[in-house]
Amino acid sequence: MDLSTTIAGVRFPSCLMNAAGARCVTREELEALGRSHAGAIVTKSMTVEPRQGNPEPRYHGFPGGSINSMGLPNLGYRAYAQLIPELRKFKKPVMASIAGFSDEDFVTIAKAINESRPDLVEVNLSCPNIPGEPQIGYDANSSERLLKRVRKVVSVPMGVKLPPYFDPAHQEKMVRVLERVGVDFLSLINSVGNGLVVDPDKECVVIKPKGGFGGLGGALIKPVALANVRAFWKLFGGRLPIIGTGGVVTGADAFEHLLCGASAVQIGTTLVEEGLGTFERLEKELAAVLEKKGYASPSACRGALREL
């Protein structure tokens, strides 16, 4: 079974890859992704300066999902700009995810990273776990202003990682922004922000930052992720490639993302919990589902979800 896919003219040997943030901070983690069955190497969302991130414990897995408030721990864009050319030896696409605390941060990072020639750049408008910092992706005007500036300095395919939207009006407004900017792909969705998980035995929250509030991931957010993938697929008329993220635990979950309109699927919580072997397992499971359904490739079922 051929599980390859193409996004913005870039061929991926597999439609399954890591989500930015999952086992992709250090050189060792990025090289391990290169040696794995992952279809790409997606970097941690990088900031101008290196960051240690929020105090620990800042990640907690539980039945049905995870909660985290990592606080963008990363090596800083200069380190990733040096690493990206070296990662090409693995012969799979490198996607650089960029973040910042101001428009200037994004532009500074984008310029330098573009010069290091990743295959794609993902602009993260949706990091929900920086105390005191709002998610840019919920402000359409700020998003448009920022993306127009970044678009001018990025010559490789550029996509946007968005937060979950819960109202069709917000999705429609963001589509108009993205059309005016001219992006090449979407990553949907980042974690569902501002959740709270409680340990009833200890009568305590399970992570330290922000009083226990954090972003939710894993199986419990799949319906939200699928809804956003489907909504944006329909609003763009299937013209814009989408990378679906959220709730992928099995090959059947990945298949659901493809049905809703995704061209590829990223893995977060399951990768953190299970390790790099998750890609090989999901490949086998997805291939089995596609074969059983009579689809020759991921693209054959993309967007084919039936409505009643």
Q: Tens digits of per-residue pLDDT, 82-128?
A: 999 999 999 999 999 999 999 999 999 999 999 999 999 999 999 75
Q: Tens digits of per-residue pLDDT, 25-76?
A: 999 999 999 999 999 999 999 999 999 999 999 999 999 999 999 999 999 9
Catalytic residues: 127
Q: Cβ(103)–Cβ(141) under 8 Å?
A: no
Q: Write down the pTM of the prediction.
A: 0.97
**Better-predicted residue by pLDDT, 128 or 161:** 161
pLDDT of residue 134: 75
pLDDT of residue 8: 98
Domain boundaries, the chain: 5-53+72-193+221-300
Q: From CA 83, how far away is CA 88, in angstroms rounded?
A: 9
Q: Cβ(244)–Cβ(264) under 8 Å?
A: yes
* Torsion, CA 102, CA 105, CA 229, CA 196, rounded to 10: -60
Average of per-residue pLDDT values in the chain = 96
CATH of 5-53+72-193+221-300, one of 3.40.1280.10, 3.40.50.300, 3.20.20.70, 2.40.10.10: 3.20.20.70
Query: For residue 70, what are its two tokens?
Result: 């990592």
Q: What is the rounded average pLDDT of the residues 205-225?
A: 97
At residue 226, does pLDDT exceed 90? yes
